[in-house]
Chains A and B, each alone.
Chain A
Amino acid sequence: MKSKLKFTVLIATVFLFSCFQEKKEKYTATEDIPVSLEMIAELTAPPHVPKPVGKRKAKKLIVKMEILEAEGEISNGVRYVFWTFGGSVPGSFIRARVGDEIEFHLQNHPDNKLPHNIDLHAVNGPGGGAESSFVAPGHEKVFSFKVLAPGLYVYHCATAPVGMHIANGMYGLILIEPEGGLPPVDKEYYVMQGDFYTAGPNGERGLQPFDMQKAVDERADYVVFNGKVGALTGDGALTAKVGETVRLFVGNGGPGLVSSFHVIGEIFDRVTVEGGSLVNENVQTTLIPAGGAAMIEFKVDVPGSYVLVDHSIFRAFNKGALGLLNVTGEENEKIYSGELMDNIYLPEGPGIQRMPTTSEIKESDIPAKSFEEQMKFGKQIYGQTCIACHQAEGQGIPSAFPPLAKSDYLNADVDRAIEAVLFGLSGEITVNGEKYNSIMTAQMISQEEVANVMTYVYNSWGNNKTVVTPEMVKKVKEKKK
């Protein structure tokens, strides 16, 4: 019995001792955390992030970042000379932990024309490293810093003219994880917004030079996620499965605009406000300042497409600030029912009639074999479906229904027009200088019929003679899915 007690005391002492030891390893200042061993940092291009630091000890972390000035595509058919950290916009993602000592190698490729440097917001020191990293083409500068505070930080180039270097894509994110790492999640992605200023207006093809005046006036032609219109759509869309928790590392490089970051159809469970230590919960839209960042976490409950936008919404739908998170898995009708019914609503009518949904519409038995037939069939459909609002000669009704005749809105973008016919259109638009703010409903006609009626409209009343094929309609329809 006595020996048993002794044993317990012994065990307790050991525990006490170990507790004491544990305590000893906690440092009052992060600058006192010792580093052991060297490690080459894993760098990733967006939307990917390096592996979490987990429980690893603080290390000497060697970061090798190459600066490349290279021509790329900012939108389909629109070329732009990007200046990049690591060959991508935004630049490579750096992941470290508190206490790491980062030895930073900044390499300026010999083909580059300009000197560059880097200012990391995670650095405590003048210029955030800018002064000691100023590097001429064909050279490498090395500097070192101790990581003191956890958070998600922006880095960027700070060489004169600073605005131009940032406007051309020289920004990225560095994540400093706390001791022990961030709580694990299922999916992590890297998304960074930036605004671009081109000599030609949005969509003008060819190589577009940077426009300094527009940049000074903050009149962006493109506002994009990850350096390109559509970088996060199609094959580039982010993915997750129902029930997974997604963590987005969202930054904003600017140079000019502040982002109202929002994911359509999701509520953010947790947001680390401005990338710091304050956590906000159940957030709809979070503000991401230029030169700032936020960590956003949410669990996805229902399958479907979730749209990442800058909720300064014209930037999303007109300038490119739009991405997709595609979630697959089981429906959960308890959380979201989906469309239950689409009924015709006639306030004065006797009963409720059911209308066919688009998936039930049968393709025409007699497809148009020629342009002439398309016109003929199209005119017919126009007479049944469109004429009530847009009128016989496509002239519309002033301040209620926009004209289709000589319509700049129509002629500017055929896909947009197809989309309007397929899915409807609401909100304010400007047609031939006049503002309209009404609702066009989705038209319940087949893809073939859409192609025909639009071909008819485009080849009438002074429009640009586009021929719309069922394939084009199909493409728009599928893209929207």
Chain B
Amino acid sequence: MRTKLFRLSFVLIFVHLFSFGQSGDMARINGARYIPLYGRDSTVVEVKDFDLDKYPVTNEQYMDFVKKFPEWQKSNAKKIFADGMYLRNWKNNFELNDDAKSNSPVTYVSWFAAKAYCDCMGKRLPTMDEWEYAAMSDETSKDARIKKSYNEKILSWYEAPRSNENQIGQNPKNYWGVSDLHGLVWEWTSDFNSVMLSGESRKDKDGDNNLFCGSASLGATDLMNYAAFMRYAFRGSIKANYAIKNLGFRCAKDIETP
């Protein structure tokens, strides 16, 4: 009897684990084929099932990380991996500035730092295709990109000052149960620079990279293009050692196949 109970609870735990992803703070994203606004070759890309952090990594979580990994502490990080702006809103290795909140997303982190953090958690950075896929949903639908409200919300964030000082979880969860993909900070992706905007956006139009054709074939509205272009433009302007005020990250994870 006792063993039966034990077994039952084991099964329950297993079911619990399975239905909520790897842990409570990640959400399961069911993959599919979709056309990103513009991707590497502007065609359909396939995203496999994966888990994604529900929230961006916070100052508090990052603090725990640097306590365990001193090489990523503010005073120790190597310049080639994180530029002079690294953790600029932290007073020192273990204290935030007075106006920074522990529950705000960590920003002023480089790609190298973000990658190291995810590696240490047994996770990884999401790919740009994964990130864009998860981020194209709103509260009710997987692909909200053609909705006016969805795009307006994104564009309005571009104009909101000091939003990096907001705390996580204040934006509604999207279809997958993920928050803050829009409306809080930009986020690193593992291959952020795989679509290169030269910075001369007009020239990008007629290059052989066909960056704009993908979106054209979608019959996308201008509004929709604009919200995404700004994301791609931003990614195109950064390098892996940049630490920027409005740029944070979250981690993803492959689904372990039994």
- Residues of A with Cβ closer than 8 Å to B? 69-71, 81, 110-115, 117, 126-127, 130-131, 133-139, 158-162, 164, 209-210, 212-213, 216
Complex A-B, nearest 8 residue pairs according to Cβ-Cβ distance, in ascending order: A134-B199, A115-B237, A160-B201, A136-B237, A127-B200, A81-B159, A160-B229, A131-B200
B245 within 8 Å of A (CB atoms): yes
Interface SS of B by simple majority = helix
B236 within 8 Å of A (CB atoms): yes
Chain B: which residue is nearest A215 at the CB level? B222
- Residues of B with Cβ closer than 8 Å to A? 85, 88, 152, 155-156, 158-162, 186, 197-204, 222-223, 225-226, 229-230, 232-234, 236-239, 242-246
A209-B160 Cα distance, complex, nearest whole Å = 9
Which B residues touch A70, using CB under 8 A? 161
Known pairs A131-B203, A138-B245; A111 contacts B237 (CB<8 A): no
> In the complex the two chains form, is B85's CB within 8 Å of A110's CB?
yes
Known pairs A130-B200, A212-B155; A115 contacts B233 (CB<8 A): yes
Which A residues touch B230, using CB under 8 A? 114, 160-161, 164
> In the complex the two chains form, is A113's CB within 8 Å of B158's CB?
yes
Which B residues touch A131, using CB under 8 A? 198-200, 203
Known pairs A131-B203, A136-B244, A160-B232; A71 contacts B161 (CB<8 A): yes
Which A residues touch B198, using CB under 8 A? 131, 134
A127-B161 Cα distance, complex, nearest whole Å = 29
> In the complex the two chains form, is B242's CB within 8 Å of A139's CB?
yes
> In the complex the two chains form, is B200's CB within 8 Å of A138's CB?
no
- CB < 8 Å neighbour of B201 from A81, A113, A161: A161
CB of B44 to closest CB in A, whole Å? 23
Chain B: which residue is nearest A157 at the CB level? B201
A259-B200 Cα distance, complex, nearest whole Å = 27
CB of A455 to closest CB in B, whole Å? 41
Known pairs A69-B161, A136-B238; A113 contacts B200 (CB<8 A): no
A83-B225 Cα distance, complex, nearest whole Å = 20
Which B residues touch A137, using CB under 8 A? 244-246
Which A residues touch B161, using CB under 8 A? 69-71, 81, 111
A131-B236 Cα distance, complex, nearest whole Å = 12
Chain A: which residue is nearest B203 at the CB level? A127
Which A residues touch B236, using CB under 8 A? 115, 134
CB of B237 to closest CB in A, whole Å? 3
- 9 residue pairs of the A-B complex, CB under 8 angstroms, read A81-B159, A111-B162, A112-B246, A113-B234, A115-B238, A117-B199, A160-B197, A161-B230, A213-B223
